[in-house]
Protein backbone atom coordinates (compact mmCIF):
# COMPACT_ATOMS: atom_id res chain seq x y z
CA UNK A 1 0.00 0.00 0.00
CA UNK A 2 1.30 3.44 -0.92
CA UNK A 3 1.93 5.84 1.89
CA UNK A 4 0.55 9.24 1.04
CA UNK A 5 2.87 12.21 1.26
CA UNK A 6 1.77 14.83 3.75
CA UNK A 7 3.41 17.99 2.38
CA UNK A 8 6.26 20.22 3.41
CA UNK A 9 6.42 21.43 7.01
CA UNK A 10 8.83 24.15 8.06
CA UNK A 11 9.09 26.17 11.27
CA UNK A 12 7.22 29.46 11.24
CA UNK A 13 7.36 30.65 14.88
CA UNK A 14 10.46 31.25 16.98
CA UNK A 15 9.87 32.55 20.48
CA UNK A 16 12.43 33.50 23.11
CA UNK A 17 12.99 35.84 26.01
CA UNK A 18 15.29 38.83 26.18
CA UNK A 19 15.45 40.20 29.70
CA UNK A 20 11.86 41.11 30.61
CA UNK A 21 10.67 40.89 27.01
CA UNK A 22 9.12 37.92 25.25
CA UNK A 23 9.86 38.05 21.54
CA UNK A 24 8.50 36.01 18.63
CA UNK A 25 9.53 36.03 15.00
CA UNK A 26 6.60 35.01 12.79
CA UNK A 27 7.06 33.81 9.22
CA UNK A 28 4.23 35.48 7.32
CA UNK A 29 5.23 33.82 4.05
CA UNK A 30 7.96 32.89 1.60
CA UNK A 31 8.25 33.65 -2.11
CA UNK A 32 10.56 32.00 -4.59
CA UNK A 33 11.93 34.27 -7.27
CA UNK A 34 14.23 34.24 -10.28
CA UNK A 35 17.62 35.71 -9.45
CA UNK A 36 19.23 36.91 -7.22
CA UNK A 37 20.71 38.77 -10.24
CA UNK A 38 19.70 41.38 -11.34
CA UNK A 39 17.67 42.20 -8.20
CA UNK A 40 20.90 41.85 -6.21
CA UNK A 41 24.12 43.04 -7.80
CA UNK A 42 22.16 45.14 -10.27
CA UNK A 43 25.37 46.97 -11.22
CA UNK A 44 27.42 43.74 -11.53
CA UNK A 45 27.76 41.09 -14.25
CA UNK A 46 25.43 38.15 -13.86
CA UNK A 47 28.40 35.76 -13.80
CA UNK A 48 30.02 37.66 -10.91
CA UNK A 49 26.86 37.36 -8.82
CA UNK A 50 26.48 33.67 -9.73
CA UNK A 51 30.05 32.95 -8.69
CA UNK A 52 29.36 34.43 -5.23
CA UNK A 53 26.28 32.23 -4.89
CA UNK A 54 28.19 29.11 -5.94
CA UNK A 55 30.83 29.86 -3.32
CA UNK A 56 28.03 29.95 -0.74
CA UNK A 57 26.34 26.68 -1.83
CA UNK A 58 23.28 28.52 -3.20
CA UNK A 59 21.42 28.11 -6.50
CA UNK A 60 22.47 30.57 -9.21
CA UNK A 61 19.08 31.27 -10.77
CA UNK A 62 16.54 30.96 -7.96
CA UNK A 63 16.23 32.37 -4.50
CA UNK A 64 13.82 32.48 -1.61
CA UNK A 65 12.63 35.51 0.20
CA UNK A 66 10.90 35.18 3.57
CA UNK A 67 8.78 37.81 5.31
CA UNK A 68 9.23 37.84 9.08
CA UNK A 69 7.34 40.31 11.27
CA UNK A 70 8.35 40.55 14.91
CA UNK A 71 6.19 40.49 18.03
CA UNK A 72 7.39 41.83 21.38
CA UNK A 73 5.54 41.49 24.66
CA UNK A 74 7.17 44.00 27.00
CA UNK A 75 4.79 43.11 29.84
CA UNK A 76 2.95 46.39 29.29
CA UNK A 77 2.60 46.45 25.52
CA UNK A 78 2.29 43.89 22.79
CA UNK A 79 4.12 45.41 19.84
CA UNK A 80 3.99 44.11 16.29
CA UNK A 81 6.82 45.24 14.02
CA UNK A 82 5.60 45.24 10.40
CA UNK A 83 2.51 43.46 9.23
CA UNK A 84 3.55 41.16 6.39
CA UNK A 85 1.68 40.91 3.13
CA UNK A 86 -1.85 40.76 4.49
CA UNK A 87 -4.14 39.95 1.60
CA UNK A 88 -1.83 41.30 -1.09
CA UNK A 89 -0.95 37.75 -2.07
CA UNK A 90 -3.04 34.62 -1.44
CA UNK A 91 0.02 32.55 -0.64
CA UNK A 92 1.02 34.68 2.31
CA UNK A 93 -0.63 36.49 5.14
CA UNK A 94 -0.51 33.84 7.82
CA UNK A 95 0.30 36.48 10.39
CA UNK A 96 -2.93 36.49 12.43
CA UNK A 97 -2.85 32.68 12.71
CA UNK A 98 0.75 32.76 13.87
CA UNK A 99 -0.06 35.41 16.47
CA UNK A 100 -2.62 33.02 17.89
CA UNK A 101 -0.27 30.04 17.74
CA UNK A 102 2.23 32.20 19.60
CA UNK A 103 -0.32 32.53 22.41
CA UNK A 104 -1.77 35.96 21.65
CA UNK A 105 -4.74 37.51 19.94
CA UNK A 106 -4.69 40.31 17.38
CA UNK A 107 -6.79 42.38 19.84
CA UNK A 108 -3.91 42.20 22.35
CA UNK A 109 -1.64 44.15 20.00
CA UNK A 110 -1.35 47.66 21.46
CA UNK A 111 1.16 49.08 18.99
CA UNK A 112 2.08 48.36 15.41
CA UNK A 113 5.46 49.72 14.38
CA UNK A 114 6.01 50.12 10.63
CA UNK A 115 9.70 50.17 9.64
CA UNK A 116 8.89 51.41 6.13
CA UNK A 117 6.05 51.48 3.64
CA UNK A 118 6.96 48.84 1.06
CA UNK A 119 4.06 46.46 0.31
CA UNK A 120 5.39 43.44 2.23
CA UNK A 121 5.54 45.55 5.41
CA UNK A 122 2.27 47.49 5.24
CA UNK A 123 0.09 44.89 3.50
CA UNK A 124 -1.21 43.55 6.82
CA UNK A 125 -2.42 47.01 7.83
CA UNK A 126 -5.17 46.36 5.30
CA UNK A 127 -6.56 43.80 7.78
CA UNK A 128 -7.60 46.70 10.05
CA UNK A 129 -10.51 47.28 7.66
CA UNK A 130 -11.66 43.74 8.45
CA UNK A 131 -11.71 44.44 12.19
CA UNK A 132 -8.24 43.19 13.11
CA UNK A 133 -5.80 45.04 15.40
CA UNK A 134 -8.55 47.34 16.62
CA UNK A 135 -6.69 48.27 19.83
CA UNK A 136 -3.39 49.15 18.19
CA UNK A 137 -1.89 52.55 17.54
CA UNK A 138 0.52 52.75 14.62
CA UNK A 139 4.06 54.08 15.03
CA UNK A 140 5.80 55.16 11.85
CA UNK A 141 8.87 57.24 11.02
CA UNK A 142 8.05 60.85 10.35
CA UNK A 143 10.37 61.03 7.32
CA UNK A 144 8.93 57.81 5.91
CA UNK A 145 5.33 58.94 6.27
CA UNK A 146 5.96 62.41 4.83
CA UNK A 147 7.92 61.04 1.88
CA UNK A 148 5.18 58.66 0.80
CA UNK A 149 2.49 61.26 1.42
CA UNK A 150 4.18 63.94 -0.67
CA UNK A 151 5.98 61.66 -3.15
CA UNK A 152 9.30 63.36 -2.36
CA UNK A 153 12.23 60.95 -2.92
CA UNK A 154 9.88 58.19 -4.06
CA UNK A 155 11.33 56.69 -7.27
CA UNK A 156 9.21 56.08 -10.36
CA UNK A 157 9.43 52.28 -9.88
CA UNK A 158 7.43 52.69 -6.62
CA UNK A 159 4.39 54.31 -8.28
CA UNK A 160 2.05 51.42 -7.47
CA UNK A 161 3.55 51.27 -3.97
CA UNK A 162 2.63 54.93 -3.47
CA UNK A 163 -0.94 54.14 -4.52
CA UNK A 164 -0.98 51.30 -2.01
CA UNK A 165 0.26 53.67 0.72
CA UNK A 166 -2.55 56.07 -0.13
CA UNK A 167 -5.09 53.27 0.04
CA UNK A 168 -3.86 51.46 3.17
CA UNK A 169 -1.85 53.94 5.29
CA UNK A 170 -3.26 57.41 4.71
CA UNK A 171 -6.74 56.56 6.04
CA UNK A 172 -5.09 55.39 9.30
CA UNK A 173 -3.33 58.71 9.92
CA UNK A 174 -5.43 59.59 12.98
CA UNK A 175 -4.19 56.41 14.70
CA UNK A 176 -0.53 57.16 13.99
CA UNK A 177 2.30 58.28 16.22
CA UNK A 178 5.32 59.69 14.40
CA UNK A 179 8.85 58.87 15.45
CA UNK A 180 12.34 60.15 14.64
CA UNK A 181 15.69 58.34 14.92
CA UNK A 182 16.92 58.02 18.53
CA UNK A 183 13.40 58.32 19.97
CA UNK A 184 11.79 55.48 21.95
CA UNK A 185 8.67 53.54 20.99
CA UNK A 186 8.50 52.42 24.63
CA UNK A 187 11.26 52.21 27.25
CA UNK A 188 13.99 49.96 25.81
CA UNK A 189 12.93 50.10 22.16
CA UNK A 190 14.67 52.88 20.23
CA UNK A 191 14.46 53.95 16.59
CA UNK A 192 17.71 53.95 14.60
CA UNK A 193 18.21 55.74 11.28
CA UNK A 194 18.36 53.17 8.48
CA UNK A 195 17.38 55.52 5.66
CA UNK A 196 17.99 54.56 2.03
CA UNK A 197 16.17 51.29 1.39
CA UNK A 198 13.19 53.63 1.52
CA UNK A 199 13.37 57.37 2.26
CA UNK A 200 12.81 56.98 6.01
CA UNK A 201 13.50 53.27 6.58
CA UNK A 202 13.93 52.72 10.31
CA UNK A 203 15.63 50.03 12.41
CA UNK A 204 15.02 49.40 16.12
CA UNK A 205 17.36 48.65 18.96
CA UNK A 206 15.69 46.45 21.56
CA UNK A 207 17.08 46.34 25.09
CA UNK A 208 15.89 44.76 28.32
CA UNK A 209 17.92 44.04 31.46
CA UNK A 210 21.07 45.11 29.60
CA UNK A 211 20.52 42.55 26.85
CA UNK A 212 20.22 43.75 23.27
CA UNK A 213 18.86 42.55 19.99
CA UNK A 214 18.59 44.69 16.87
CA UNK A 215 15.73 44.67 14.37
CA UNK A 216 17.44 45.68 11.13
CA UNK A 217 14.30 45.29 8.98
CA UNK A 218 15.41 45.61 5.30
CA UNK A 219 18.98 46.82 5.79
CA UNK A 220 19.86 43.48 4.18
CA UNK A 221 17.53 41.67 1.79
CA UNK A 222 19.69 38.62 1.04
CA UNK A 223 21.76 36.87 3.66
CA UNK A 224 24.74 36.35 1.37
CA UNK A 225 24.74 39.11 -1.23
CA UNK A 226 23.67 42.04 0.97
CA UNK A 227 26.13 40.98 3.67
CA UNK A 228 29.26 39.85 1.86
CA UNK A 229 29.16 42.62 -0.75
CA UNK A 230 27.15 45.42 0.85
CA UNK A 231 28.33 47.88 -1.85
CA UNK A 232 26.49 46.10 -4.67
CA UNK A 233 23.32 47.79 -5.82
CA UNK A 234 19.99 46.24 -4.86
CA UNK A 235 16.96 46.92 -7.05
CA UNK A 236 14.74 47.03 -3.96
CA UNK A 237 16.71 49.98 -2.48
CA UNK A 238 14.99 53.26 -3.31
CA UNK A 239 18.15 55.36 -2.85
CA UNK A 240 21.08 53.06 -3.70
CA UNK A 241 23.92 55.15 -2.27
CA UNK A 242 22.14 56.05 0.94
CA UNK A 243 21.08 52.40 1.42
CA UNK A 244 24.69 51.24 1.03
CA UNK A 245 25.89 53.77 3.62
CA UNK A 246 23.21 52.72 6.12
CA UNK A 247 23.87 49.02 5.44
CA UNK A 248 27.59 49.33 6.08
CA UNK A 249 27.13 51.52 9.16
CA UNK A 250 24.65 49.14 10.78
CA UNK A 251 26.40 45.89 9.81
CA UNK A 252 29.67 47.38 11.07
CA UNK A 253 28.06 48.32 14.38
CA UNK A 254 26.44 44.88 14.83
CA UNK A 255 29.70 43.08 14.03
CA UNK A 256 31.69 45.27 16.42
CA UNK A 257 29.19 45.07 19.28
CA UNK A 258 28.35 41.37 18.65
CA UNK A 259 24.65 42.16 19.00
CA UNK A 260 22.28 39.62 17.44
CA UNK A 261 20.28 40.92 14.49
CA UNK A 262 16.75 40.17 13.36
CA UNK A 263 16.32 40.74 9.63
CA UNK A 264 12.90 40.80 8.00
CA UNK A 265 14.14 38.89 4.93
CA UNK A 266 16.81 36.71 6.54
CA UNK A 267 16.26 32.93 6.50
CA UNK A 268 13.85 31.90 9.26
CA UNK A 269 14.02 32.31 12.24
CA UNK A 270 15.56 35.46 10.77
CA UNK A 271 17.99 35.92 13.67
CA UNK A 272 21.76 35.80 13.48
CA UNK A 273 25.06 37.39 14.25
CA UNK A 274 27.06 39.53 11.85
CA UNK A 275 30.74 38.80 11.48
CA UNK A 276 33.20 41.00 9.58
CA UNK A 277 35.58 38.43 8.11
CA UNK A 278 37.18 40.79 5.62
CA UNK A 279 37.07 44.59 5.65
CA UNK A 280 33.57 45.68 4.63
CA UNK A 281 32.48 42.09 3.99
CA UNK A 282 30.10 40.52 6.48
CA UNK A 283 28.89 36.98 7.12
CA UNK A 284 25.54 35.92 8.49
CA UNK A 285 25.85 33.43 11.34
CA UNK A 286 22.38 32.03 12.09
CA UNK A 287 21.66 31.68 15.80
CA UNK A 288 21.44 28.30 17.42
CA UNK A 289 20.95 28.27 21.20
CA UNK A 290 22.47 31.64 22.21
CA UNK A 291 19.07 33.08 23.08
CA UNK A 292 18.14 30.18 25.35
CA UNK A 293 20.19 31.63 28.20
ZN1 LIG B 1 10.81 44.08 2.69
Percentage of the residues of the chain whose pLDDT score is greater than 70 = 99
If pLDDT is split at 50, 70 and 90, which confidence band does 12 have?
A: very high
Q: Using the mean position of ligand 1's atoms as its centre, give its distance from the Cα of residue 232 in Å.
A: 17
Total domains in the fold of the chain: 1
CATH number at residue 118: 3.60.15.10
Is the pLDDT at 89 greater than 80, yes or no? no
| Cα 2 to averaged position of ligand 1 atoms, centre (Å) | 42
| Residue 7 within a domain | no
Closest C-alpha to 99, from 20, 19, 22? 22
User: 184 alpha carbon to ligand 1 midpoint, in Å?
Assistant: 22
Measured CA to CA, the distance from residue 234 to residue 39 in angstroms comes to 6
| Contact yes or no for 230/194 (Cβ under 8 A) | no
CA of 66 to the centre of ligand 1 (A): 9
Asked whether residue 205 is domain-assigned, the answer is yes
For the chain, the distance separating the N- and C-terminal CA atoms, rounded to the nearest angstrom, is 47
Between the CA of 258 and the centroid of ligand 1 the distance, in Å, is: 24
Average pLDDT over residues 239-258: 98
For residue 101, the CA-to-ligand 1 centroid distance in Å is 23
Q: How high is the mean pLDDT of the chain?
A: 96
162 is a domain residue:
yes
User: What is the band of 90 on the pLDDT scale with cuts at 50, 70, 90?
Assistant: low
Q: Residues 44-47: contacts with CB within 8 Å, 24+ apart?
A: 44/232, 44/233
Does 11 fall in a domain?
no
Mean pLDDT for 165-184 is: 98
* Structural domain contains residue 112: yes
CA of 28 to the centre of ligand 1 (A): 12
Whole domain around residue 41: which residue ranges? 20-292
Asked, as a colleague might, if the bond just before 282 is cis with ω within 30 of 0, I would say no
Q: Decide if 51 is inside a domain.
A: yes
Instruction: Give residue 159 CA to ligand 1 midpoint distance, Å.
Output: 16
Within a domain: 92:
yes
d(CA 183, CA 49): 38
The predicted pLDDT at position 92 comes to 61
pLDDT of 199 reads 98
Report pLDDT for 113: 98
Query: Ligand 1 centroid to 241 CA: how many Å?
Result: 18
Question: Is the pTM here over 0.75, yes or no?
Answer: yes
The whole-number average pLDDT for the span 57-75 is 97
Q: Does residue 8 lie in a domain region?
A: no
Ligand 1 mean position to 4 CA, how many Å?
36
Residue 18 Cα to ligand 1 midpoint, Å, equals 24
Q: Does the pLDDT of residue 91 top 70, yes or no?
A: no
Rounded to an integer, the average pLDDT of 39-59 is 97
Amino acid sequence: MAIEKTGIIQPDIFKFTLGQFEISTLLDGIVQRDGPHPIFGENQNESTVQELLRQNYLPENKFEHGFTPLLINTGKDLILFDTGNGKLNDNHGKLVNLLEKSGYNHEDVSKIVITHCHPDHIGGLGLINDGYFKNATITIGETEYTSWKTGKNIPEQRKSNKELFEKICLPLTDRMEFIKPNQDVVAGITAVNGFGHSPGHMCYNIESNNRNIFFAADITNHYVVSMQVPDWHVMFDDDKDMAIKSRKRILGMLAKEKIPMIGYHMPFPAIGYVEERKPNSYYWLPISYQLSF
